[in-house]
Each structure stands twice: as C-alpha cells, then as structure tokens.
Amino acid sequence: MPFGLKNAGATSLFYTILFQGCVEYVGVAKKGALILDVSTWWNSTYRMLSRAFHYKEAFKNLAEIETSYQSLPTDLEWLRAKLISGLLQPFDQMTNLISGSSYPTANLYFMEVWKIQTWLTANEFHEDGLIADMVASMRLKFVKYWEDYSDILAIAAVLDPRMKFKVLEYCYHSLDPGTCKCKIDYIRKKLVKLYGVYKKNSTSAHCSQEADADAPPAGYGGFYAFFSQQAGAEKSALDIYLSEPVLDMVANMKLNVIEYWRDNANRFKELSLMACDILCIPIKTVSSESSFSAGSKVLSKYRSRLLPSNVQALICTRNWLRVFEVIRGVDLDEEDEDALDKEAEEGVNKRIRLN
C-alpha cells in the first residue's frame, strides 16, 4: 500500500503499549493484533486493511497524543483503502477455501474461479486509476486460470447434484452470452466421452462375469435376448442424472458430494465411480502455507543454527498443528500475534517495575 497503513504494525514495545491504550480509550473492541502486508501471503493485504479499519479511531487517537506518529492515513487514503479492501475480499474468501490445508473436493473450483473472473471484469475500468492498474496487473496473472481452465474441473462442477449444467450456463452466460452455448456443448461432449470410457470398462468386466455364469435354460434364449435388448435401449445413468432436477442449493449447503455419490452408487453405477474419481482430484497439490507463504518455512536468525533434523521436526510439527487448528476454526497466525503482544506488554511492565 502506498500510504500509512503499510507501517501500521510497528513492533516497538513502546508503540505496542501506547496503541493498546488508544484502543481502550476510544472504546473499540479488541480484535487481535495488527496485521502487516506480507508479499508472500496472497490475502495478507485484505487482512491488514480489514484489521486496520477496525482500529481506525484508535489510529486517530494515537496521532493526537503522539507527535512522532506521522503515518496516519488521510480521509482520501482511508476511502481508497476501503475500496481496495472490498475488492480484495473475494480473493480472501477464495484463498481460504481452495488454498487451505483441508483439500476441498474439485466441484468447488469452477465457481470460485468464476467469481474472481467476474470481479476482474467488473473492475477492469474502475474510476480510480490506481485500482484499475492493480486489476490489470492481477488479470494478466489470473487469465490462465480461466481461459485455460481445466475441462475436468468444469465437469466436476456438473457432477455436483446442486449445480449440474445450470452452474456452467449461468457462469458462461454472465461473462459472455455469445460463447455460452459453444462452451456448454464442448463440456457436454467431453463429459459424454469420459462417461463412455467408464461405461466400456464396466461392460467389459460385466461380460467377463457373465461368461462364467450359467447359460440360460433351454428354450428361453430368445426371451433373455429380448429383455437384454430392452435393457440396453434404456437411458444411461448419465442421462438419468442430468435429467433429474438439481438439489436445492440453500437446503443442501453442507452437502457432502462424495457421500451423495456413494449413497447413490446402486442407481448410477459406473457414473458414481467416475464422479468419485473426478471429485477427489485435488485442486492443488500442496497447501498455500507451503506454496505461497514463507511465514513458516524461512529460518530466522534465531533458528538458522539448528540441526537439519530439528528444523524438519519443527516445520512438520507446525504443519500438523495448523491442520488441527483449521479444523477447530482457530487462526493460528493470529494466536501467535496475540501471544507476542501479550509477551511484549509483560516485558514493558517488568521493565517499568525494575526502573
């Protein structure tokens, strides 16, 4: 950020205690420590701005009582920061969903990528030149995730019984109505072709089993052949699935899609096998903390002399703990920051008593 919030998280013990006093003076509820913008964390800018806005009045009070604090944003800068914060919120939501440690199923990918594409398109010509330039830069990096999207992950969205082709129709039409039908037809052909592969493999296995079975009773060959022909003329499992109404999205918000296909395996047979294979494709191969954050992977000057085995143990243990904390709904980074603030406050109080 090109203004004062960039320096809002000064770690000086003096300013830490002074700012805590400002928070109490203006009556703002404590919401954790200030967050710095970290270049290796994709969503850190949004988190920094969101937390700074919460303490806006405390920053103003700090500027009034401490003349050395010269980084208070102007009203125009606060307004611009608010706009940027609102624009970055979808990225934060997407990062939390598909870049965490819980590895969501592949059906969630398409909608989340579409949200970002829609956001970029809507703000491409923003009236604020700074924001327009920011969007243009982000668009260059993001375009490969949409225009070169994975067909198999679009199919994964279709295999979510709450969405099917409806979600693709909505997303494609909202972005470019002229190409919507072509894109839908392309994905449909891919889906039918892939289902045909699973159907063929299933039929081959079934024929192999029938070869070992007893032959039809004498005189009933034509009868069995007739019913076998009628069974083959019926609608496929894929046609049946697509023809059924979609499940209510609101009523089934927490639907476990894998369990849905497991429970309906007898109805859809080879389609359920295909669905489980596709839905289990990981959206990413490693967690965002491993890929895009150096927060837990860079050795500080205090740990650079540890034995390699100890370093490995620390990193692995932290990753395991992080997964458990995510499951419990706890932000481990914020807990660490709060602990550091508490430690800093205790240190200052101890120094005051000694003096």
Segments forming the whole domain that contains residue 153: 104-283
- Asked, for residue 46, whether it belongs to a domain, the answer is no
For residue 54, being part of any structural domain is answered with: no
> Whole-model pTM above 0.85?
no
How many angstroms separate the CA atoms of 20 and 25, rounded?
9
Q: Is residue 193 part of a domain?
A: yes
Let me know if residue 211 belongs to a domain: yes
Does 168 reside within a domain?
yes
Query: What's the rounded Cα separation, in Å, for the pair 53 and 51?
Result: 5
Token pair 């997407």 in the structure block, residue: 94
**Calpha distance 108→154 (Å, rounded):** 10
Contacts of 56 (CB under 8 A, 6+ apart): 78
Name the domain count of the chain: 1
HSE, side-chain direction, 13 A CA sphere, residue 108: 21
Q: How far apart are alpha carbons 119 and 201 in whole angstroms?
A: 42
pLDDT digits (tens, 9 = 90+) for 323-344: 555 445 545 455 555 554 555 4
Query: What token pair was written down for 311?
Result: 């370093």
Distances (CA, A) of 227 to 6, 189, 215, 220, 222: 74, 29, 15, 11, 9
pLDDT of residue 243: 93
Residue 214 lies in a domain: yes
In this structure, is residue 33 part of a structural domain?
A: no
Output the tens digit of pLDDT for each of the chain's 355 residues: 444 444 444 446 777 888 889 999 999 888 888 888 776 566 788 889 989 999 999 999 999 998 888 889 999 899 888 888 888 887 777 777 665 545 567 787 788 788 888 888 888 888 888 888 888 888 887 776 666 666 888 899 999 999 999 989 998 888 888 989 999 999 999 999 999 999 888 665 544 445 445 555 665 556 556 555 555 556 889 999 999 999 998 899 889 999 999 999 999 989 999 999 998 877 654 444 443 344 444 445 445 556 777 777 777 776 666 555 544 554 545 555 555 455 545 544 554 444 4
Q: What pLDDT is attached to residue 214?
A: 56
